[in-house]
Chains A and B, each alone.
Chain A
C-alpha cells in the first residue's frame, strides 16, 4: 500500500463515526485488560487510561473533539439506561439500606456539605476566580446535576463537567486507600463514600470491588445528587462571604 492510498483511507475513515466508536471500545478493552493484569489495582483506572490514550490520539491526529464525539456518542448514550439499571442492585440491597437509613442520612448531609463547601473555601483561599469557584463547588455530583447547579451559581457548565470527571477519577483511585488508613473497611461505608464524593466513576470502581459496595455507591450518588441540587444553589451564596 502506498503512503498516498494510506492517507486516503485515513481521511475517509477518520471522518466516519465508526472509526471513533470502534477505537473507544477497543481502547476501553485494552484499559480493562491492563486493569485486570495489575490485579485490579485502583491506580490502573480504566477511565483514566482510556481517556489518556484517546486524548493523545486525537491531539496527534489533529482530530477535533466534536468529530470524535460523533462516533463516541453511541457509548455516551448508554450512560442513561445504565443509570436506570442502578435500581437493580439497589433493590437487591434494599433491606440493608432501609435498616441503616438513619446513619445513611446523617452521612449524606455531612459528606455532601463537606465535599461541596470545602471545594469552594479552599479554592477561594488559594485565589481562584469566581466562575472557577462556582464550577468547583458541585464537582462531587453526577455530571448533568453538577452542570445545572454550576450554571445557577454563575459557573461554567463545560468546566464543571471537567471537574466532575477529574474528581471521579481521583476518588476512584484513592478512596479505598484513604479509608483503609482510617480503619474504614466495611462495604457500606466504603461504597457510600465513593459514590458520594466521586459519583458514577466512583460507583463504577465500587462495582469492581463487590456488588454490595456498588449498591451503596449507587445510593450515595443518587441521593447526593438530589440533596446537592436542593441545597447548594441557595446555601452557597448564603455562606460564600464566610468561606472567603
Chain B
C-alpha cells in the first residue's frame, strides 16, 4: 500500500512540476493522472498493489470533497444576496449540461451500433 501511495504521490509531484515549468492551465493532479495513464499504457497495466490502493481511494472519493464542501459555510451571506439568480442559473445550466453531453454521446454511439 505504501509503495502504491508513493507511486501516486510521485506522479502528482511530477504533474505539479510540469504545471509550474510549462505554465499549464490544468492542476498538477490532473496532469499526474495523464502521466500515470501513459505509464500504465507503457507498463501494460497496474500491479496488484496499485490497483488495490487506487480502488480503495476511488471508492471513497466522496470523502475527499467533504472538507472543501464544508467551506460553503463561509459564503452563506453572499449566496443569500443573489440566491434566486444563482440557484436557477446553477440548476438549469447543470441540467442542460447533463442533457447535452449525455444525449449527444448516446445518439452518436447508438447510431454507430445501428449502422454496424
Query: In the complex, which residues of chain B have a beta carbon less than 8 angstroms from the beta carbon of A27?
Result: 66
Report the separation of the CA atoms of residues A8 and B94 in the bound assembly, to the nearest whole angstrom. 47
Query: Given that A83-B32, A107-B105, A197-B94 are known contacts, is A204 also in contact with B85, CB under 8 Å in the complex?
Result: no
**Pairwise interchain contact B93-A122, C-beta atoms closer than 8 A:** yes
Nearest chain B CB to A84 CB, angstrom units: 4
**Pairwise interchain contact B90-A166, C-beta atoms closer than 8 A:** yes
**Pairwise interchain contact B64-A166, C-beta atoms closer than 8 A:** no
**Pairwise interchain contact A81-B8, C-beta atoms closer than 8 A:** yes
Tell me, yes or no, whether B58 is within 8 Å of chain A by CB: yes
Give a binary string over B1-40; 1 marks a CB under 8 Å from any A CB, 0 the rest: 0000100110110010000000001111110111011011
Choose one: B26, B64, B78, B108; the contact of A76 (CB below 8 Å): B64
**Pairwise interchain contact B90-A222, C-beta atoms closer than 8 A:** no
Nearest chain A CB to B78 CB, angstrom units: 6
Query: In the complex, which residues of chain B have a beta carbon less than 8 angstroms from the beta carbon of A103?
Result: 104-105, 108-109, 112
Tell me, yes or no, whether A128 is within 8 Å of chain B by CB: yes
Report the separation of the CA atoms of residues A108 and B105 in the bound assembly, to the nearest whole angstrom. 9
Tell me, yes or no, whether A43 is within 8 Å of chain B by CB: no
Give a binary string over A132-149; 1 marks a CB under 8 Å from any B CB, 0 the rest: 100010011011110010
Query: In the complex, which residues of chain B have a beta carbon less than 8 angstroms from the beta carbon of A161?
Result: 68, 71
Report the separation of the CA atoms of residues A168 and B64 in the bound assembly, to the nearest whole angstrom. 13
**Pairwise interchain contact B94-A85, C-beta atoms closer than 8 A:** no
Please provide the chain B residues from 46 to 93 with a CB less than 8 Å away from any CB of chain A in the complex. 46, 50-51, 53-55, 57-75, 78-79, 82, 84-86, 88-93
Tell me, yes or no, whether A240 is within 8 Å of chain B by CB: no
Q: Which residues of A line the B interface, CB within 8 A?
A: 24-25, 27-28, 31-32, 45-47, 50-51, 54-55, 58-59, 65, 68-69, 72-73, 75-76, 78-91, 94, 100, 102-104, 106-108, 110-112, 114-116, 118-120, 122-123, 126-129, 132, 136, 139-140, 142-145, 148, 158-159, 161-163, 165-171, 174-175, 178-179, 182-184, 186, 188-190, 192-194, 196-198, 200-201, 203-205, 207, 214, 218, 220, 222, 225-226, 229-230
